[in-house]
Each structure stands twice: as structure tokens, then as C-alpha cells.
């Protein structure tokens, strides 16, 4: 069996539990990235089984169904929240009144270009303004300051691939993680520019990340409390919920993770306020804003 970069594979030693993409190869070893999970790994080439087309289609179908279910539930909740907010904004008046929304802008840094494209598509479906940047994890701390100055985001997502490597040490040792340290360094650099937790909402982490380290570094939300794998799209649902929640409302961590694909084992954080602001009146030239109408 001939393997090459980009092939989808599973690992014999783990009974094929996760599908990976081969990201690089060197002699008899391959670096791997989870196809749907933000997990980094490596494996000997003789431990890898190439995924056939039938297996790939079945795997993709199952994940698409989970993603669509989460999307539908999120949209239902967003509609209910919008109806409540419109009533409060209009102070109960029944006549036709138009408003515009300024949703929170997201700066999304991702160590995986494939995942970034998937996330950007979901942000667009949800109507969330986003500026996405593909940056290798190790370069994030150096570039975050200039990106914040340029984009001036309300919400910052710092993600990519990570892994807890037990052979390196205990769970409370930052040296045991593939990228948690650089994620935390990136958060600290961001907090030098915007120290206040409510002025820049930060999500940081990936699969099996050192949750406590990332929260102490200054993240509002992070992964992974139980060192489990998280889905590629989970950070989007966290950011979208904050973006669509009015700035006068506060959101608990449990509210935020309700419609993620991973849940509380993989995601957690601090009580945080939303960033959505509403204004009136609506004028047609406000084409860069989102219109909402009470009738």
C-alpha cells in the first residue's frame, strides 16, 4: 500500500476509531491531523490503513448529519432570541419599526487551512462577520498583536490542532501538550492589547488541550476540561452565540456549549456577556448592517 500526503487513514493500533489526514511524511513515520476532530498525532506508516471510498462516504454522512442537527438547533434558539430581543428593543410597540444589528466581529486564527474553510462557511451560514487567518500554531504568538490592531475584533478564536501526549508527563504539565503552550502564549499576547474579559471574548484550544492553562492565560472559553477530542466546528458555535447575544445579557458556559457537537466534556469557561448591539432607524444605505423588522 502506497501512502502519500493528503490521504485519509486510520490507525490499526486504535482500531480505526478516528479518521486522519496525512499532513507530512518522513521515512517510516507520518504526521496526522483529524479529519473532523482537532487532534494532532503521528504514527508509523505500517500502523496506518488507507480509508477506502465506501468508508469515507459513510464517515462523512454520519458527521454531516451531526453537524446539520447542531446547526438546526442553533438556528431555532437564535430565532427565539431574536424575537425576544426585538420585542424588548421596540418596547412592545406593535407598529412597523425597523432596526439594524451590529453583530460581534470574529477574528478566527486556525492552524489548519481545511478547518478554517469549513468554519468560515458556517460563520457565513449563521450571518456572523468573520476575518479568518490560517497561521501555523507556532507562529500565532508573533502575529496576534498586528492582527488585533488591524481587525479590531469583538471575539477572538485561537485554534488548530493539539494533543495530550501522556508519555511526556502528567496532565498538569504544559510540556505534555503538543500546542497548548503556544495557544496560551497567543492569549497572553492578545490580553496585553485588550486586558478586559468583556471587551475581547477569547476562545482558545483544540483537541485534548490544557483547559486550566488556557483559562489562566486569559481565555473566556477553552478546551478541553476532560482532555477529550473536540469537533472542528465547535469554536464557531461558541463565537456565534456570543456574537448574537445582546451586550446587556450574560451567558453561562453551559448555555454556550448547548448546541456544540462535543459538549461540556470538551468545552468550558467563564460567564461572559454578549456583544450584539441594536440601533434604529434602519435606512437602506446601511447595507453593511443587518436589518430586522417588527411588524
Q: Which residues contact 266 (CB under 8 A, 6 or more apart)?
A: 223, 224, 225, 226, 228, 229, 230, 234, 260
Mean pLDDT for 163-168 is: 93
Is residue 271 over pLDDT 90?
A: yes
- Confidence tier at 293 by pLDDT (50, 70, 90): very low
**pLDDT exceeding 90 applies to what percent of the chain?**
54
Q: Between the CA atoms of 128, 133, 136 and 141, what dihedral angle is there, to the nearest 10 degrees?
A: -90
pLDDT computed for residue 53 by the predictor: 80
pLDDT band of 262, cuts 50, 70, 90: confident
The predicted pLDDT at position 278 comes to 82
- Residue 243: per-residue pLDDT: 94
Residue 203, class by beta-carbon neighbours within 10 Å (0-12 exposed, 13-18 middle, 19+ buried)?
Answer: buried
Predicted confidence at residue 291, as pLDDT, reads 54
Which has more confidence, 281 or 103?
Answer: 103
> Under a CB-based contact definition with an 8 Å cutoff, are residues 22 and 49 in contact?
no
Mean pLDDT value of segment 200-208: 96
- Provide the mean pLDDT of the chain: 87
Residue 92: band (very low, low, confident or very high) from pLDDT cuts 50, 70, 90: low
Amino acid at each position: 500500500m502506497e501512502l502519500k500526503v493528503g490521504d485519509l487513514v486510520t490507525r490499526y493500533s486504535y482500531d480505526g476509531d478516528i479518521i486522519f489526514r496525512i499532513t507530512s511524511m518522513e521515512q517510516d513515520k507520518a504526521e496526522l491531523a483529524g479529519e473532523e476532530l482537532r487532534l494532532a498525532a503521528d504514527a508509523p506508516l505500517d500502523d496506518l490503513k488507507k480509508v477506502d471510498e465506501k468508508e469515507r462516504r459513510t464517515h462523512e454522512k454520519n458527521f454531516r448529519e451531526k453537524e446539520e442537527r447542531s446547526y438546526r438547533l442553533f438556528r431555532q434558539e437564535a430565532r427565539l432570541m431574536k424575537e425576544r430581543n426585538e420585542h424588548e428593543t421596540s418596547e412592545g410597540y406593535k407598529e412597523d419599526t425597523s432596526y439594524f444589528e451590529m453583530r460581534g466581529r470574529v477574528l478566527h486564527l486556525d492552524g489548519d487551512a481545511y478547518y478554517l474553510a469549513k468554519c468560515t462557511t458556517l460563520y457565513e451560514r449563521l450571518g456572523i462577520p468573520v476575518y479568518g487567518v490560517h497561521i501555523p500554531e507556532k507562529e500565532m504568538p508573533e502575529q496576534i498583536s498586528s492582527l488585533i490592531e488591524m481587525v479590531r475584533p469583538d471575539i477572538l478564536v485561537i485554534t488548530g490542532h493539539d494533543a495530550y501526549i501522556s508519555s511526556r508527563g502528567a496532565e498538569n504539565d504544559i510540556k505534555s501538550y503538543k500546542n497548548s503552550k503556544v495557544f496560551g502564549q497567543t492569549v497572553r499576547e492578545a490580553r496585553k492589547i485588550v486586558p478586559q474579559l468583556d471587551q475581547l471574548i477569547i476562545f482558545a484550544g483544540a483537541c485534548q488541550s490544557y483547559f486550566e492553562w488556557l483559562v489562566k492565560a486569559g481565555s473566556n472559553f477553552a478546551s478541553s476540561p476532560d482532555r477529550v477530542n473536540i469537533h472542528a466546528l465547535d469554536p464557531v458555535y461558541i463565537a456565534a452565540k456570543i456574537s448574537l447575544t445582546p451586550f446587556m445579557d450574560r451567558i453561562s458556559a453551559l448555555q454556550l456549549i448547548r448546541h456544540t457537537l462535543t459538549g461540556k466534556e470538551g468545552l468550558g469557561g467563564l460567564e461572559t456577556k454578549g456583544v450584539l448591539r441594536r440601533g434604529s432607524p434602519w435606512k437602506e444605505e446601511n447595507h453593511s448592517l443587518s436589518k430586522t423588522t417588527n411588524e
